[in-house]
Structure 1
Amino acid sequence: MRTLVETRHLSKRFDVSPPWLNRVIEGRARQWVHAVDDVSFSIAQGRTLSLVGESGCGKSTVARLLVGLHRPTAGDVLFDGQNIAQALAGRQALPLRRRMQMIFQDPYASLNPRWTVRDIVAEALTEHRLVSGRHELDERVAQLLGSVGLVAGDMRKYPHQFSGGQRQRVSIARALATQPEFLVCDEPTSALDVSVQAQVLNLMKDLQQRHGLTYLFISHNLAVVRHVSDTVGVMYLGRLVEVAEKSAIFIAPRHPYTRMLIDAIPDIGMTGRARTPVQGEVPNPLAPPPGCSFHPRCPHANERCRVERPVLLSLRGIQVACHAVEEGRL
């Protein structure tokens, strides 16, 4: 299966230092937060990779790096073998933008309240010169709205006249306007009611089957991830700690952090299996712990975990960064 999207040792750090004068007066050094730290993965064409983890683990930063909204501090993002950072800085920027789009988390903030739905969806069509003439433009907008379960008459309305689920459908229609191959979905259902979430997720799966779309899906909701994913990557403090097929993650998680996340899911079937709730708090990302960043919360940590940072290794078809798993202690 052809790899469409790939990251190689991707890193992004942000300068969060106080203003220069404050640093001089207080004698403080610059401060950096490593939002994404040496992340590598690939997504095959037509497949869905989901990134999960607690808030602040770097999921959304990865999403923005993949579509060029942030430039990486180190590492590369490849789309169909093409380096995104180089392409977006040259003549290939517009063709590349057509092939990838992003659906944002908040449908209330991502749509311009002063524009009609027609103008919102049509912007990409006119920017990329995909239609000629007002009549063709209206036809294409109506077709896009129909593909997400809305009607042509909705194009004359404004965002405030829609519910949250309908607004997210408008966002999806806008993203589909350029006929992209790759969609980055940054928690697209987290602001919606549960029943509406199901409708939007089913719509996205249907669109994937019809158009052969490739998804990067960002979420902290494991029930959503289980519904949409082919492969799941678990992130902690900017690093990938486990990557595996969906079935392996949910049936036999390997990394202690993944196990804690899975155990936190309510056991509707009341199977009686032992459960370990997620313990402790995420460390301060400005001062992450040495060695394995998860060791302060891990019941299996030893001295090696406290001093040596684990690398992502392939073990029996699962990629996992854990000394305990590598040594057979888990």
Structure 2
Amino acid sequence: MQTASVHEPLVKVDDAARYFDVSASWLDRLLQGKQRSTLRAVDGVSFDIARGETLALVGESGCGKSTIARLLVGLYGLTRGAIHFEGQPIAALATREGRHLRQRLQMIFQDPYASLDPRWRVGRIIAEPLQAHCPDMSRAEMEQRVDELLGLVGLNAADKVKYPHQFSGGQRQRISIARALATQPEFLVCDEPTSALDVSVQAQVLNLMKDLQQRMGLTYLFISHNLAVVHHIADRVGVMYLGRMVEIAPKRELFAHPRHPYTRMLLDAIPDLNMTGKARTPVAGEVPNPLNPPPGCTFHPRCPHANERCRREAPAPLLHGATTVACHAVQEARL
């Protein structure tokens, strides 16, 4: 079995792509003379995640963030490229030999109202991963582990006999976190875990996740469209647009000195809570149809710095200091 060096990233994504066939039925295409339609949800994304790090992915709806999340935990297969977890291909999750890998990476879903089975008691929900991955664990040991997990996320052991509908949204997300931690994973994929919660509850859940990361040495991929949340929790930030990574940088560098015009556009749209007098600029334009993306740089129809090269040639990601950015204007020093 291949093992990874301590200095290698825990997660390595190399030119990952996932395409979906969204064509009409064969008969409709024949009668209407239509061609097949392909949605390039993720189109050649590369990044690494170090042990103990939180990498956040941001971008407008439909940019491919959630597809990346599902690729990382094996819910979707790759159309192209490779994903490795501690040196092992993520495709091994689907094999018997890779079963041990499954318990080391887990996912927290966006909607705590939809991700918990309403017919099951909380104890059974949290114990389900243990039953799947720890078949030799006795019933008493399983109950003790469930009690420990409930305490870990700030709930009571007595809550295990209740049903999900008896809890608030924030408490349900704590239950989801407890379930994800049941098998003692090293890597958690968090797909907008606070977006369905009230603002005050969001802060509680985020603080819980940061505390758990420090205590357990967890590594996070955190997906969000809320830049304030990202600023609070991330170490590095990746910005996605129409299935591609346009910029990835350390959090402080990205918020202080954004390089890609799209990143600048997103940051300029944040309300000025510090009352510095800086005007808020709404995000300009609309995301193009992902079934028919523009040629060249897909952001060029909305970019104030686009030229002819941008319209015909897709930019390659290049390293500028600690920042990796895919933009002709940056490479040519036109910004």
- Could you state the TM-score of these two structures normalised by the residue count of structure 2? 0.97
Cα deviation per residue 1:16-69 (whole Å; 9 max; x = unaligned)?
000111001111110000000100000000000000000000000000000000
Q: Secondary structure at the match of 2:103?
A: helix
Deviation at 1:276, TM superposition (A): 3.4
2:21 corresponds to which letter in structure 1?
A: D
Determine whether 1:71 maps to 2:73: no
| 8 Å Cα contact 1:131-1:137 kept in structure 2 | no
Corresponding residue for residue 90 of structure 2: 84
Cα deviation per residue 1:114-135 (whole Å; 9 max; x = unaligned)?
0000000001111112662222
Deviation at 1:274, TM superposition (A): 5.2
Deviation at 1:227, TM superposition (A): 0.5
Q: Secondary structure at the match of 1:233?
A: strand
2:69 corresponds to which letter in structure 1?
A: A
Determine whether 1:99 maps to 2:104: yes
Q: Secondary structure at the match of 1:190?
A: coil
In the alignment, the residues of structure 1 paired with residue 70 and residue 243 of structure 2 have an alpha-carbon distance, to the nearest angstrom, of 14
Deviation at 1:275, TM superposition (A): 4.5
| 8 Å Cα contact 1:51-1:235 kept in structure 2 | yes
Determine whether 1:7 maps to 2:1: no
Determine whether 1:218 maps to 2:223: yes
In the alignment, the residues of structure 2 paired with residue 288 and residue 127 of structure 1 have an alpha-carbon distance, to the nearest angstrom, of 42
In the alignment, the residues of structure 2 paired with residue 233 and residue 120 of structure 1 have an alpha-carbon distance, to the nearest angstrom, of 33
Determine whether 1:163 maps to 2:168: yes
Instruction: Calculate the aligned-residue CA RMSD, in Å.
Output: 1.0
Determine whether 1:243 maps to 2:219: no
Runs (5+) with no aligned partner, structure 1 = none
Runs (5+) with no aligned partner, structure 2 = 1-6
Q: Secondary structure at the match of 1:3?
A: coil
Return the match for 1:48 from 46, 49, 54: 54
Determine whether 1:137 maps to 2:158: no
Return the match for 1:17 from 23, 33, 50: 23
| 8 Å Cα contact 1:189-1:197 kept in structure 2 | yes
Residue correspondences, number: 329
Corresponding residue for residue 293 of structure 1: 298
| 8 Å Cα contact 2:316-2:326 kept in structure 1 | yes
Deviation at 1:269, TM superposition (A): 1.4
Deviation at 1:224, TM superposition (A): 0.4
Determine whether 1:202 maps to 2:207: yes
In the alignment, the residues of structure 1 paired with residue 59 and residue 324 of structure 2 have an alpha-carbon distance, to the nearest angstrom, of 16
Corresponding residue for residue 319 of structure 1: 324
In the alignment, the residues of structure 1 paired with residue 24 and residue 258 of structure 2 have an alpha-carbon distance, to the nearest angstrom, of 41
| 8 Å Cα contact 1:67-1:101 kept in structure 2 | yes
In the alignment, the residues of structure 2 paired with residue 329 and residue 143 of structure 1 have an alpha-carbon distance, to the nearest angstrom, of 56
Return the match for 2:239 from 206, 213, 234: 234
Return the match for 1:34 from 29, 37, 40: 40
Corresponding residue for residue 315 of structure 2: 310
In the alignment, the residues of structure 2 paired with residue 310 and residue 165 of structure 1 have an alpha-carbon distance, to the nearest angstrom, of 41
Q: Secondary structure at the match of 2:61?
A: coil
Cα deviation per residue 1:215-253 (whole Å; 9 max; x = unaligned)?
000000000000110000000000000000000111110
Cα deviation per residue 1:64-107 (whole Å; 9 max; x = unaligned)?
0000000010000100010111x124333310111000000000
Q: Secondary structure at the match of 2:180?
A: helix
Return the match for 1:146 from 146, 151, 159: 151
Cα deviation per residue 1:238-282 (whole Å; 9 max; x = unaligned)?
000000000011111000000010011110112123553210000
| 8 Å Cα contact 2:270-2:280 kept in structure 1 | no
Corresponding residue for residue 256 of structure 1: 261
1:223 corresponds to which letter in structure 2?
A: A
2:165 corresponds to which letter in structure 1?
A: H
| 8 Å Cα contact 1:234-1:258 kept in structure 2 | yes
In the alignment, the residues of structure 2 paired with residue 181 and residue 119 of structure 1 have an alpha-carbon distance, to the nearest angstrom, of 23
Cα deviation per residue 1:134-185 (whole Å; 9 max; x = unaligned)?
2211111000000000000000000000000000000000000000000000
2:211 corresponds to which letter in structure 1?
A: D
| 8 Å Cα contact 2:272-2:280 kept in structure 1 | no
